A = this chain, B = another copy of it.
Amino acid sequence: MDALTRYLEQQLQLPQEEAHALLRHWQKPKTLKRGGFLTRQGQVENHLYYIQEGTMGIFYDIEENEQVVGFGYADTLICSFPSFIRNYPSDYYIQALSTTELIGIARSDFYRLLGEYSRIEHLWLQMLEEALLGRIEREIDLLTVSPRERIQRLLNRSPHIFQLIPNKYIASYLRMTPETLSRNMK
């Protein structure tokens, strides 16, 4: 049983029939080297990806600076959601931070399956709820004034990120410079 099957059936609790229906449409693996783009700015995101191995960063250019807005790592889904959902060109770009292997499912297949299998639709609804709650938590993190406190919150919520991702990206994600992160980690 491969990682995606395990993810769908065990982690997401999807019944076999639905898991199989999804798996049939998942495409052949894609490998990216560090620095390689999964999605570029201006490009429409036509796939939802599952990361089999590696680490990725989601970026957005704010006021001419590259800002990190999220990470991806093994056993998580990744894509430019606004672009995937709205079928618009993406403002975000997604890059491999280390060699990464992914598989994707096309938007058209995905939304068709939502219509065909109410359990998949229900699962997607629950995932959207979770994603929304995650964003709401993230908002509090960003509103927190003290850099030290922002670091602490991330350490509590996602300690593994500090093992996986270079600090300079984490600093950007936490709305501070690498210097400030360094000075507040001790």
Q: Spell out A's residues near B (CB within 8 Å).
A: 60, 62-63, 67, 69, 81-82, 85-86, 118, 121-122, 124-125, 128-129, 131-133, 135-140, 142-146, 149, 175
Taking a contact as CB atoms under 8 Å apart, the answer to whether A62 and B129 are in contact is no
Contacting residue for A125 out of B62, B86, B128, B143, CB 8 A = B128
Measured CA separation A82–B134 after assembly (Å):
9
Taking a contact as CB atoms under 8 Å apart, the answer to whether A136 and B81 are in contact is yes
The residues of B that contact A144 with a CB separation of less than 8 Å are 62-63
Contacting residue for A175 out of B85, B118, B128, B143, CB 8 A = B143
Taking a contact as CB atoms under 8 Å apart, the answer to whether A146 and B85 are in contact is no
The residues of B that contact A146 with a CB separation of less than 8 Å are 63
In this complex, which of A60, A133, A143 has the most chain B Cβ atoms within 10 angstroms of its Cβ?
Answer: A143
The residues of B that contact A85 with a CB separation of less than 8 Å are 129, 132-133
The residues of B that contact A63 with a CB separation of less than 8 Å are 144-146, 149
Taking a contact as CB atoms under 8 Å apart, the answer to whether A67 and B128 are in contact is no
Report, nearest first, the 5 A-B pairs whose CB atoms are least far apart: A135-B135, A128-B128, A142-B142, A125-B125, A132-B132
Shortest Cβ gap from A113 to chain B (Å): 14
Shortest Cβ gap from A66 to chain B (Å): 11
Taking a contact as CB atoms under 8 Å apart, the answer to whether A143 and B69 are in contact is yes
Taking a contact as CB atoms under 8 Å apart, the answer to whether A140 and B62 are in contact is yes
Contact A131/B132 with A60-B140, A124-B125, A140-B60 known, Cβ cut-off 8 Å: yes
Taking a contact as CB atoms under 8 Å apart, the answer to whether B62 and A133 are in contact is no
Measured CA separation A50–B15 after assembly (Å):
36
